[in-house]
Structure 1
Amino acid sequence: MRRTPAKKGPSNATSSSNSSAADPLRSGGRTATKELDSIDQLYNTYANKSSGIIDPEGIEHLCSDLEVDHTDVRILMLAWKMQSERQGYFTLEEWRRGFKALRVDTISKLKKSLPDLEKEVQRPSNHVNFYSYAFQYCLTEEKQKTIDIESICELLELVLGSLYPPQVNSFVKYLKIQSDYKVINMDQWMGFYRFCNEISFPDFGNYDAELAWPLILDNFVEWMRSK
């Protein structure tokens, strides 16, 4: 949209306005700089002194200060908010991204922000992104594209168990007793999310095996119906 030209005012007023806009200290720059310094100082509290990166030990320390277990889903949510690329590690750039988005610069503020972060993740528009991220976050090896069944079962219970308990409980039980699949790929992972959202459970009244469902879900439905 084209902007409407601003009316020219007195020269002294224009000069004052331009001066204020150009001076970051007058336009909130000082506050922003102070918050960034606090964010960076907090990062250094947990970062490995040699690598300069927060590693698994640093995350354990962070979890202790937040009074949450390192397996708590909220830590995964925090990683999602930071868009952390490597499981168990936070870079300064990722840390800044997450803390700025959450508008926090201290541990106490971060702790208070966790309930709101949970609500944010649970929104349908965000949760599918979080669910997809959770799988990618667990790909710890270069060129890795699948995750072993045991880890998938734990991850499903962590990220989807509270939303779809009957479906997740049944699918996890099936994954543990079946012998056809040793690993799960992204297509199968996302297929189960769609399954939970679209298919009536446990009657499977609207499940059509002729549609493009991953074969593992066809097998799961067949197993459930045979029980």
Structure 2
Amino acid sequence: MEVAGCSAGIFLMEEWRKGLKSMRVDSLDKLRKALPSLQQEMVSPYNFKDFYTFSFKYCLTEPRQKTLDLETACQMLSLVLGSRPHVASFLRFLQEQSEYKAMNLDQWSAFLRFCDEIKPDLRNYDESQAWPLLLDNYVEWAKKGMVTKS
């Protein structure tokens, strides 16, 4: 179901109807029956990436807002990414550091790619690749923590 142009907590009736129509849903019973396939559709990598981007944009509350405050970003990352590798430690990093106050869409998108591509022990992280500085700083922080635990 595609829902475009909505704000946090707000779905316009026109958008809702357009989404239901695209799913060929015209009753609560059909919606109930469609939900399992919709959930299944969301876990495919292609669709999940769209949902992940949507979840960032959904939390933007002002017309020209480009970033999410870290509290909101952390809550959404936890909600949307759950127990994927790096999520828990990245959230700890965001809470402990003091340099960043907000997260932009580039950082948000790169973190999903980071979770998908970088091994939990970070051994395949290549700092010469074009990762946002936020992720470079996270890796540096995480590696220090790994050394301390050893």
- Alpha-carbon offset, residue 86 of structure 1: 2.1
| Residue in structure 2 matched with residue 174 of structure 1 by the alignment | 93
Displacement of 1:170 after TM fit?
1.0
Q: Does 1:217 align with 2:138?
A: no
Deviations 1:153-211 (A, max 9, x none): 1100111115x1x311111111111111010001110110110111111x211111121
Are 2:47 and 1:129 equivalent residues in the alignment?
Answer: no
Partner of 2:66: 145
Cα 1:84–1:111, aligned 2, differ >3 Å: closer, same or farther? farther
Distance 1:218 1:110 in 2: 43
Q: CA deviation at 1:84?
A: 4.3
Equivalent residue, structure 1, for 2:148: none
Q: Which residue of 2 aligns with 1:226?
A: 144
Corresponding residue number in structure 2 for 1:190: 109
What letter is aligned with 2:132?
P
For residues 1-227 of structure 1, the aligned pairs below 5 Å read: 81-162=2-83, 164=84, 166-201=85-120, 203-227=121-145
> Of the two, which has the highest radius of gyration?
1
Deviations 1:25-58 (A, max 9, x none): xxxxxxxxxxxxxxxxxxxxxxxxxxxxxxxxxx
Aligned identity (percent) is: 50
Higher RCO (CA-CA < 8 Å; seq separation 6+): 2
RMSD, aligned α-carbons: 1.4
Q: 1:107 & 1:82 partners in 2: Cα distance?
A: 18
Deviates further, 183-192 or 95-104: 95-104
Show the counterpart of 1:62.
Answer: none
**Amino acid in the other structure paired with 2:51:** F
TM-score w.r.t. length of structure 2: 0.89
Give the secondary structure class of the aligned counterpart of 1:103: coil
Q: Which runs of 5+ in 1 are unaligned?
A: 1-77
**Displacement of 1:92:** 2.7
Q: Distance in 2 between matches of 1:191 and 1:105?
A: 38
For 2:96 and 2:32, the matched residues in 1 are separated by 39
